[in-house]
Amino acid sequence: MTNAERVFEALHDPTRRAVLDRLRSGPKPVGEIARGLPVTRPAVSQHLKVLKDAGLVTDRSEGTRRIYHIDPKGLGAMRAWLDRYWEAALDALAAELNRTETKENE
Amino acid sequence: MTAQIRPAPVRKSIRVNATPDRAFDVFTSGIGRWWPKSHKIGQADLDRPVIEPRAGGRWYELDVDGSECELGKVAVWEPPSRLILIWQLTPEFRFDPDLMTEVEVTFTPDGDGTVVDLEHRDLERMGDQAEAMAETVGGPGGWPALLQLFADETHN
């Protein structure tokens, strides 16, 4: 999977979007993120892992707890967005060049 | 504690059925014919992006209402083989004259066609900007607008 696909996959799930929303107000441990969400705490941990793999959140140890926070620079998302952006642009360029080249050859 | 994140450049490559001369020409002066209309930052609909044909030239977006949005500038202009654009948009899609990330596009002959390679690098500088912005705002900022775009797209 490309970085972009991982980000889209990560954000496709409504629970993961809810998890991200909770982290917008600041770093939190799993227990606090899970509170009020209609899923189990292990499920939340699993969602956090997917978000981490996509570069959307990072974590750190604080004693025995693991504190999660949004990738402070948003670079995982930015890079994934640019990945799609340039891919779409080059595809469009190739389509234009191949189209006009064919026309000229006719 | 802030993890130092240094993202790899975004690299894209595509082969086209055209000479380097044509590919370079269509990429730059013909950009309005192929640039996706969705690739825009202005409020109004996109007319076309403009790449001024010289080093030091402007690179901007021209919208249908006549407004212009700066995207960056032209750093290297070497037709038909190489072009470097400076991309000066933050993750919040704001033009920032102090932000410099490079987009290098090369055109290499390949048989009767051309390989177009694109590399967008120095992305970590966007992080510096985002972090600085977050510190200035003092809140939980630094959360880029594009995340919302992702979310919107996944809803579709």
pLDDT in tens, B16-54: 999 999 999 999 999 999 998 878 777 888 899 999 999
Q: Looking at this predicted complex, what is its ipTM?
A: 0.79
What gap in Å lies between CA B116 and CA B110, rounded to an integer?
10
* pLDDT surpasses 70 at B155: no
pTM: 0.72
Kindly determine whether residue B39 and residue A89, on different chains, have CB atoms separated by under 8 Å: yes
- pLDDT score, position A54: 83
Kindly determine whether residue A101 and residue B23, on different chains, have CB atoms separated by under 8 Å: no
Q: Which of B18, B120, B127 is opposite residue A97, by nearest beta carbon?
A: B18
With vertex at residue B143, the alpha carbon angle to CA B129 and CA B41, rounded to the nearest 5 degrees, is 75
Contacts of A18 (CB under 8 A, 6+ apart): A37
Amino acid making up residue B111: G
Kindly determine whether residue A89 and residue B35, on different chains, have CB atoms separated by under 8 Å: yes
Contacts of A88 (CB under 8 A, 6+ apart): B36, B38, B39
* pLDDT surpasses 60 at A48: yes
| Contact with chain A for residue B39, Cβ under 8 A | yes
